[in-house]
Amino acid sequence: MLSWLQDVLWPSKAPKSDYDDLAFEILFEDLDRNGDGVVDITELRDGLEHWNSSFGIDPEKKILKSADSNADSGLDFGEFVKYLQDHEKKMKLAFKSLDKNADGVIDASEVVAAMKSLGIHISLAQANDILKSMDADGSMTVDWDEWRDYFFFHPAKNVTDIIRFWKHSTIIDIGESVSIPDEFTEQEKKSGEWWKRLVAAGIASAITRTCTAPLDRLKVMIQVQSSKMSKLRLVHVFKQMVKEGGLFSLWRGNGVNIFKITPETAIKIGAYEQYKKLLSFEDANLGFLQRFTAGSMAGITSQTCVYPLEVIKTRLILGRTGEFSGIIDCGRKLLRREGIQAFSRGYVPNLLSIVPYAGLDLTIFELLKNYWLEHYAESSVNPGLAIVLGCSTLSHTFGQLASFPLNLVRTRMQAAMLENETIPMMQLIQEIYTKEGKKGFFRGLTPNVLKLLPAVGIGCVAHELVNLLFGLT
């Protein structure tokens, strides 16, 4: 829309200037669909989507809040013009601050330098991918007109906002993967914003796990069933759980699942950064093998530290009504009855399952997202919520399929302690194969797969909403 408007108002041979009143009138009329002289939030949202000129969650709300000076929930022509004029000034300052050599264009090296200023390291190839989304003439540079047209309706206030948008929308973004949380820039660490992002991620994870807890408990119950009960339907097992402990028993064990979010996430973030430094991994050049290794090692470290809580969670899920009064009571009874070794039961298969899950989940998500950006994203480096949702679902599915047999073995080893059994891992694997065949290793897969799509969807939406609540972009 903006490029067409520019061609109409300024012939290609004439010198280009900033938008004038005629340009603003055309833009306003295009937004004001019902012709009442006021652009409401619905019209603004529809216009941004039509022009492909939005990023982040609810950009129309940010624009309306900033531009609606009389707080009447709508923009008249005067408010519309004033907002765009003020926003254009901010974008011009941002452009000049990035154009270090003052040659009137932004090139890849200047994008690299700008990202580096926030502690983010990218390659020239990644910088060129960013420029392609704004480069209208194929010059692999961005002049003021291209910059203004692209960010005219993007509610970014300064260079920091713009760089964060690039950070969360390109190959360097790993924040959408559940396996490895987002990295923190040097500026975020110094400003203290890192803890807000950590808390926001924890709240979003808690919401997701709580919403899908019944399916998670259903999976564990089916995994530990004897072979004679293997043909029971999901609905029947579900009814048995409700009959035994009531409706609230479906969330049994969810408390410890939420309790371990913060330490697990914090350890995972710290471990990921330390492993990259130790192995001399450069953020801009992480390939398939590097991502697999870094993701898996960080997952192993965090899981090792919180594994006793995993055992407690399984015991709470499988416990009878009234058997345990809570996390502490469960831990005390396990320690008294079975000794300290109870908290490491099933650790080896759990350790082995992390490698395919954490590695494949992270790597496949990045490959799918970047493939879409490269082949289908014409004018944006932001994949959007729908694409993120699809990529996350597929990556989690592959990770779950690869790790599920080991996950089942781990759960069986944890549950075997209920009968004071101590079956070695290899012996248990042989028994499952002999008695139940290959299908026995995938018992409980159905409820696990059923929870993937709602878990990813709820997680994405919850993360965006919580970030908005905390004022994070």
Position 438 pLDDT exceeds 60: yes
Q: Give the separation between CA 140 and CA 144, rounded to whole angstroms.
A: 13
Highest mean pLDDT among 4-13, 14-23, 309-318: 309-318
pLDDT tens sequence across 384-435: 666 767 777 788 788 888 888 998 999 989 886 544 556 788 988 998 888 8
Strand spans (E) along 37-171? 105-106, 142-143
Position 251 pLDDT exceeds 70: yes
Domain range annotation of the chain: 2-167, 186-469
DSSP string, 289-337: HHHHHHHHHHHHHHHHHHHHHHHHHHHHHHSPTTT-SSHHHHHHHHHHH
Q: What pLDDT score was predicted for residue 309? A: 92
pTM for the complete prediction? 0.60
Question: Among residues of the chain, what percentage have pLDDT more than 70?
Answer: 71
Distances (CA, A) of 386 to 55, 165, 350, 453: 13, 17, 32, 12
Q: What pLDDT score was predicted for residue 308? A: 93
Q: Give the separation between CA 235 and CA 267, rounded to whole angstroms.
A: 38
pLDDT tens sequence across 179-211: 444 455 555 566 666 677 777 777 888 888 898
CB-based contact 153:53 (threshold 8 Å): yes
| List of residues 6+ apart from 235 with CB closer than 8 A | none
Q: Measured over all CA atoms, what is the biggest interatomic distance in the chain, rounded to whole angstroms? A: 86
Helix, strand, coil shares, percent, the chain, to 5: 70, 0, 30
Among 83-97, 222-236, 384-398, the range scoring the smallest mean pLDDT is 222-236
Q: Which two tokens stand for residue 10?
A: 């300024």
Q: What pLDDT score was predicted for residue 187? A: 56
Q: Give the separation between CA 122 and CA 167, rounded to whole angstroms.
A: 10
Q: What pLDDT score was predicted for residue 332? A: 92
Q: Which two tokens stand for residue 52?
A: 């492909």
pLDDT tens sequence across 319-350: 888 888 889 999 999 899 888 888 988 999 98
Q: What pLDDT score was predicted for residue 144? A: 82
- What 3-state class would DSSP assign to 202? helix
Average pLDDT over residues 76-98: 82
Task: Between 55 and 24, name the one with better pLDDT.
Answer: 24
CATH 1.50.40.10 fits 186-469, yes or no: yes
Q: Give the separation between CA 209 and CA 225, rounded to whole angstroms.
A: 23
At the top level of CATH, the class of 2-167 is mainly alpha
Q: Give the separation between CA 417 and CA 340, rounded to whole angstroms.
A: 12
Q: With b meaning 16 or more CB within 10 Å and e meaning fewer, what string describes 332-353?
A: ebbeeeeeeebbebbbbbbbbb
